Amino acid sequence: MSEAFDVGRWRPAPFLPERESRDVSLIFVVAVLCFLACLTAMGVIAANRAAAGWTGQLTGEATVIVRPVGGETPDAAAARAAEALAGVTGVSEARALEPAKAYDLIRPWLGDVSDLADLPVPRLVAVTLDPKHPATARALGQALKTQDVDAVVDDHSIWIKDIRRAGDVVRWLGAGVFALIAGAAAAVIAFATRAGLAARRDVVEVLHLAGAEDGYIARLFQVRFARLAGLAGLVGAAGAGLVGAVLRLLGGGEGLTPALPLAWSDLLAVVPCPLLAALVAAVAAQITAIRLIRDMR
Amino acid sequence: MRYGRGPDVLSDLSFSLAPGSFHFVTGPSGAGKSTLLKLVYLAATPTKGQVRLFGHDTARVTADTRPRLRRRIGVVFQDLLLLEHLSTFDNAAVPLRIGGHRPAEYRADVAELLSWVGLGERMHAMPATLAGGEKQRLAIARAVVNRPEILLADEPTGNVDHEMALRIFRLFVELNRLGTTVLIATHDQDLVARSGKPILHLEHGRLERRTAQKPATP
């Protein structure tokens, strides 16, 4: 036997059913999109940091290739170059690399050759620049010229340009993928709103004829889909956060993601996802609902 | 008035309903009774001519004004239009919620009205579990719950027994006494005859005014 109806405890039921079978598939699709969006966001942040790190390392250093002049030994030429460079403003340290280091650098190209010592391998001077006010390649070249050292200064500017460009490409690519995913989520929600409105035409009709404004009816759908998308965003963000945490635990910048040094703070990128998903859903549902309600008139 | 490129459903119609009046709309099926009511409750606009409601031309009513006008009208739809996922009580309370009233203001009134139409024991029931007559009474309760200025009813006694039909009719009369303008489309000739109320008879899309002839009491 059913319980007696208690008028005093009655609370208005929502005009739209709280749960519908199609909600599960909508939540799943939006959650997957949010998951991908969060992974993209974390990837972009990590790539950004990687590019900044590489650029920083390259801008902080210069390499000088020294060729001996006259009867001077290569080691003496390198030592003289290092001495000349150490006195330049904006240079923190200038150090002539031991021949073994230079051999190590060219070994990948020539292989493990036993008579490597007989080759005329140029000596290298590693210059560490002042990170705040680094010396320019021109200033370094000028200092070497003054000391009559035959040398070529490589300030890594060619690489820096490429790395910066690569960093920009990754950033824009990430932003593009993120925008695409957000657009896809909005389209899915708009489609779901349309389907929801079609399925709940009875509610729209009754409320309309009872004198509800278009905005009132649209808000019902807006709140409903924002709530669903928020929930889906939470699921997607949690999934992406979990994957990020696992990647970080398995090595961060050295383990599974050497090219993308993931930091714990990058996981915070998933935090706004549920709110953003709810916002996108609210806007998409509002626009779709208003348009459809006007068509229904 | 016509739908799309179809024939005229109503033509050469001219009448006015004085505030506080009570009329029946009669006529055979397809005569345009429901269309006439739709024109009044703003669910249709005339293809030609003019319908004036509360001083507004319905074809020119703005989107902002339309809901306000609709809130002043109670409608018993022929196909009832009950919301299947809401309880009897929630269905009856729809116009009051739309009107922005707080539950505490109307709970008791809704319960009293539902009891009056014989649904006092079915307030928690979902429409799918209600009998045809119960659904109809619920639709009537929803139409009158906010004491509308105009009450339109499309075959409101189609699924109820004679006794309930009379009871519902008395409810309409009572509302009419309180100032509500009533317009009822019906096939129930007996009810119309007993009422003694004026009749707008539709046939072939045209309107004829008639007066009910009260049957002689045996």
Q: How confident is the model at residue A1 (pLDDT cuts 50, 70, 90)?
A: very low
Give the lowest-confidence range in A66-70, A148-152, A241-245: A66-70
pLDDT value at B82 more than 90: yes
pTM of the model: 0.71
pLDDT tens across A75-103, in order?
Answer: 888 888 888 888 888 888 888 887 777 77
- Three-state secondary-structure class, residue A82: helix
Q: Is residue B3 part of a domain?
A: no
The whole-angstrom separation of Cα B72 and Cα B148 is: 5
Domain boundary assignment for chain A? 18-55+161-296, 61-133
How many other CB atoms sit within 10 Å of the CB of residue A148?
Answer: 10
B123–chain A Cβ distance below 8 A for any pair: yes
Look at residue B197 and tell me if it is in a domain. yes
Q: Which domain holds residue B194?
A: 22-211
B-chain CB neighbours of A17 within 8 Å are 85
Query: Are the C-beta atoms of residues A288 and A187 closer than 8 Å to each other?
Result: no
B103/A206 Cβ within 8 A: no
Query: Whole-angstrom Cα distance, residue A164 to residue B118?
Result: 79
In a domain, B216, yes or no: no
Pick B123's closest partner by Cβ from A5, A11, A208.
A5
Question: What is the tens place of the pLDDT at every residue in A38-57?
Answer: 988 888 888 888 777 777 77
Q: What average pLDDT does range A19-37 have in this prediction?
A: 86
Q: Is A212 touching B (CB cutoff 8 A)? A: yes
Q: Looking at the domain assignment, is residue B155 inside a domain?
A: yes
Return the closest-CA partner of residue B98 out of A212, A294, A42, A62.
A212
Q: Of B72, B75, B81, which is closest to A202 when you measure between CB atoms?
A: B81
Give the per-residue pLDDT at B218. Answer: 47
Contacts A–B by Cβ distance under 8 A: 65
Tally of domains in chain B: 1
* Interface ipTM: 0.86
In a domain? residue B172: yes
Residue B12 lies in a domain: no
